[in-house]
Amino acid sequence: MAGITGFGGYVPRLRLQRKAVVEANGWFNPALAGLAKGERSMCNWDEDSLTMAVEAARDCMGETPPADLRSIYFASTTMPFADRQNATVAATALNLGEDIRTVDMTSSQRAGTSGLIDALENAEGRDGTVLFLAADTRETAASGPQELQMGDAAAAFTIGNDGVIAEFLGSHQVSTDFVDHYRGQNRSFDYNWEERWIRDEGYFKIVPPAVKALLDKTGVAGSDVDMMVMPALIRGVPQRIAKGAGIAEEAVQDNLHAVMGEAGAAHALVMLSKAMQNAGPGKTILVIGWGQGCDLMLFRTTDAIAKFKPALGGVEGYLGRKKAESNYNRYLAFNDLIDRDKGIRAEVDAQTALTTLYRNRKKVLGFVGGKCTKCGTVQYPKSHICVNPNCGEWKSQEDYPFADEPCTVQSWTADGLTYSPDPPTHFGMVTFEAGGRLMADLTDVDKGGVEVGMPLRMVFRVKVEDERRGFKKYFWKAAPDHRKTAA
């Protein structure tokens, strides 16, 4: 039977304090005071849905992707490219090879759950593993309630028939054009409808019959559901639906709104990933996705779940690794919600030579260097001549991936003159345990928080955005290795 064979997640380090948003906008919208508690996750200036999805995948798969990986799905309503397949970029960054099926799924808050159902059903009875990614960074207008309610995050799952940690028991889907919100073409923000209408005519009339249909189809009683995952911004909705289905109130999982907000199409799967971190064997998990109808999935964990641990700490680990952000202007700037005078130093044409990017895609996106087959020296970038002065062999190098190699700071600089969306610009010489070094940008670091010898790990981030042409350049940066700094 097909099912989930691995899971992971990612939540950005920065957490915007909702109190800071209310203090800035309360003069205009006093009603925001009711949403002032807690915090929401926010991407760093060099993060987006694609970079978060890559990190979630690394958390799920660790350093070694399944050898039989044959497909990658990416679900999001905030993909960086409208016409360039985003799943292909993720596959290249993860060094999954080019003999792989890649699929983008978008245009609905159900993209994550609908896509996961599709991946699960396609995996049944077939050989090979599927990687499913979901991420969202929903833009919101300043001073509105959605600004406080939303959050940025990603989730990842591997799906297959062998080594299943959560069996897929079945699914049920309802498609109906009930519009609780929408975002039109070439619009940045959602248009939201009235809450009571959404609750009474939407959730309470569409979801309960669907839950009953799934439970009847699978032969599972509501009282047998141990965990129920259902995102809903409207308070009390999951609890009432659970009660109507005979599901215990304590089975309803925390929606994470107090600690990160709602991550759009990824949120149900972020909640599922977190639930699986706390689920022992034999637990029945109901997942409900919402948006122009609803998706429902039922899983039962196996004994194998006790042995699985996300490589980078999972959703729980990332929720615990955080920095409180009380500068509301930084949030506005990172999300391009204000026009800033960036100065003359920012006036550089950032056009990408697409031919060069294609020829160097493994080096740039996959962060692949070289290893000399004669002396064993590793280096980045790969070259025709080995850099070992005692070797110098010609065309002796094979591909060597650096993305998961541990590294440390050898030297560093905080540059206040070079333009950066979040000055000062931190960069330095990074040395890898396996050998090799690189002058790299540092990210997720604070002023005064870098020191020689600091443990680092490489992360896939936005290098620069060509705003004139709407093209994002991605590369790898060095970030503090929270697994080692926490220890």
353-367+402-485: which CATH architecture?
A: Beta Barrel (2.40)
Per the model's pLDDT, the better-predicted residue between 417 and 172 turns out to be 172
Task: Please give the Cα distance from 24 to 21 (Å, whole number).
Answer: 5
Task: Please give the Cα distance from 176 to 193 (Å, whole number).
Answer: 16
pLDDT reading at 298 higher than 50: yes
Q: Which fold has domain 3-334?
A: Peroxisomal Thiolase; Chain A, domain 1 (3.40.47)
User: What are the residue boundaries of the structural domains of the chain, listed by start?
Assistant: 3-334, 353-367+402-485
Threshold 0.95, pTM exceeds: yes
Residue found under tokens 């800033």: 340
Task: Please give the Cα distance from 465 to 278 (Å, whole number).
Answer: 39
pLDDT reading at 1 higher than 90: no
Residues 6+ apart with CB under 8 A from 313: 59, 320, 321, 482, 483
pLDDT reading at 458 higher than 70: yes
Task: Please give the Cα distance from 438 to 324 (Å, whole number).
Answer: 30
Task: Please give the Cα distance from 468 to 75 (Å, whole number).
Answer: 26
What does the pLDDT read at residue 123?
A: 83
pLDDT reading at 487 higher than 50: no
What tokens appear for 150 in the block?
Answer: 């939303």
Cα→Cα distances 355→352, 361, 474, Å: 9, 10, 15
What does the pLDDT read at residue 485?
A: 64
Q: How many CA atoms lie within 13 A of 351 on its CB side?
A: 3
**Rounded to 5 degrees, what are φ and ψ at 135?**
-155, 150
Q: What is the DSSP string of 279-323?
A: --TT-EEEEEEESSEEEEEEEEE-GGGGG---TT-HHHHHHHS-E
Task: Please give the Cα distance from 270 to 35 (Å, whole number).
Answer: 22
Question: What per-residue string of b and e applies to 113-126 under the rule 16 or more CB within 10 Å gives b?
Answer: bbbbbbbbebbeee
Instruction: State what percent of residues in the chain have pLDDT above 70.
Output: 99
What tokens appear for 58 in the block?
Answer: 């690394």
Residue of 193, 141, 190, 145 lying closest to 26 (CA atoms): 145
Q: 199 by DSSP, 3-state: which?
A: helix
**Residue 381, preceding bond cis, omega within 30 degrees?**
yes
Tens of pLDDT, residues 178-229: 999 999 998 999 999 999 999 999 999 999 999 999 999 999 999 999 999 9
> Where does 94-165 show beta strands of DSSP type E?
101-105, 129-136, 153-160
**Residue 281, preceding bond cis, omega within 30 degrees?**
no
Task: Please give the Cα distance from 188 to 486 (Å, whole number).
Answer: 38
